[in-house]
Structure 1
Amino acid sequence: MGKIIIGRREKISFPSFGPDLIWAKIDTGAYTSTLHAEDVRVEMENDKEVLKFVPFKSSDKTYTGKTQKAENFRKKIVKNSFGDDEERFLITIRVMIAGEVFDTEFTLSNRSKMRNSILLGRQTIRGKYLIDVERVNLSKSYRKNQAIR
């Protein structure tokens, strides 16, 4: 099967914790994908460190305010949009893009001043998608009749 054509912004889903169909900006200049998160903290649960966070911006239509957790996480140094090094938590999340479901890595960051809570970088889209920068929401046709696996 060939690569799927997506636009510069696409609606994606997070099957493991919702929400369904939230806008993501496609950014071929970014290596790693980023998810807006608030109240990010590490807590002990059953003698193990667990990363807890509230994903998405409160202004997002699908915002729930529910705290999510990741048991497998690490810290990573990334260059932010200003070119400065920044330490962020890195987690793996299951996503659905254009009807395809797969696990990919996201760093957690405060994107409150950005238009989109989600930025999809090269690592996530490489080998799967081609980007038509003149269009948005091209994955809509691939999502029809697709069940989350």
Structure 2
Amino acid sequence: MRFYAVVIVAFLTSLTGCAHWPSAEHRNVTLDGVEVLLEQYCQPAQSSDSDFDDMQQSLKEQQQRLETLTHSIDRLAQRPVSQVPRPAPAPQCQPALMKATTDADNKVVVGATEWVFLSPPGRYLSARVDTGAETSSISARNIVRFERDGKRWVSFDLDTGNADNDIHLEVPLERNVLIRQASFDDVDRRPVVVFDVKLGDNLHQPTEFTLADRSRMSYPVLLGRSFLKDVAVVDVGQEFIHPRSKKR
């Protein structure tokens, strides 16, 4: 290092030519200053022991975290994967089994045959739905008109489809109607009575029925247009759209 200082002093001396500066005293001062400067610039930067210790501690903590994470990943990789059962698919209704119960006009759709609940007598009977008939009709035998307390009544045996299970009823007589048979010239005078009729969950109304012997027919009850008017439409391609209701 002293060699470099001598070179620098010689270089400065050559720049001054023949001048008498620096003197011997000045040269000593200058040489000492240069040596100090060289020592300052040539000395490597020193890091404090505390900074180095902090760095080592940080590296050690990072290494520990990495080892912990690696160990956790290895354990997860070795763990058997549990099979989560797939949810059962939602049941789908078969289109062929679906029956519309209302149409675009919010009218109840009924089939060509339906179960109806009559009161009286308070039981279900199978009914044929016929839009060609104006009034409804019910099968009855042993029809007898009579008076009770000055009012007209009628008694009859309600045909349920089984002669052993016919139901005897006595109800007020609303009126009599004349029915001309299509295949005969004679006119039949039939009594008209009122039954409370329930079909499905949406149709429930009092309905007039003519009493006639329908034992030759397949169904003891016939529902005509008077029951269906403004509230129902008939789909002749279906039967028993409305099951027997639990609500009565």
The alignment's TM-score, normalised by the length of structure 2, stands at 0.52
Match for residue 194 of structure 2? Answer: 92
Answer whether contact 1:14 1:93 (CA < 8 A) is retained: yes
SS of the counterpart of 1:67? strand
More strand by share: 1
Which residue is equivalent to 1:119? Answer: 222
Cα distance between partner residues in 1 of 2:181 and 2:116: 23
Could you tell me which residue of structure 2 aligns to residue 40 of structure 1? 143
Counting matched residue pairs gives: 142
> 2:174 touches 2:191 (CA, 8 Å); kept in 1?
yes
Alpha-carbon contact 1:34-1:120 (below 8 Å) kept: yes
Q: Which runs of 5+ in 1 are unaligned?
A: none
1:78 aligned onto 2:179: yes
Q: Does the aligned pair in 1 maintain the 2:161–2:219 contact within 8 Å?
A: no
Q: CA RMSD in A?
A: 2.2
Bigger-Rg structure (1/2): 2
Which of the residues 111, 115, 118 maps onto 1:7?
A: 111
Equivalent in the alignment of 1:59 = 162
Indicate the percent of aligned positions where both proteins have the same amino acid. 23
Bigger mean CA offset, 104-113 vs 71-80: 71-80
Corresponding residue number in structure 1 for 2:207: 104
1:110 is displaced (CA, Å) by 0.6
Amino acid at match of 2:122: G
Shift of residue 128, structure 1, vs aligned partner: 1.2
CA contact (8 A) 1:35 1:117 kept: yes
Correspondences of 1:16-27 after superposition (within 5 Å): 16-20=120-124, 22-27=125-130
Structure 1 residue 121: deviation in Å?
0.5
Is the helix fraction higher in 1 or 2? Answer: 2
Return the structure number with greater relative CO, CA threshold 8 A, min gap 6: 1
TM-score with structure 1 setting the length: 0.83
Unaligned 5+ runs, structure 2: 1-104
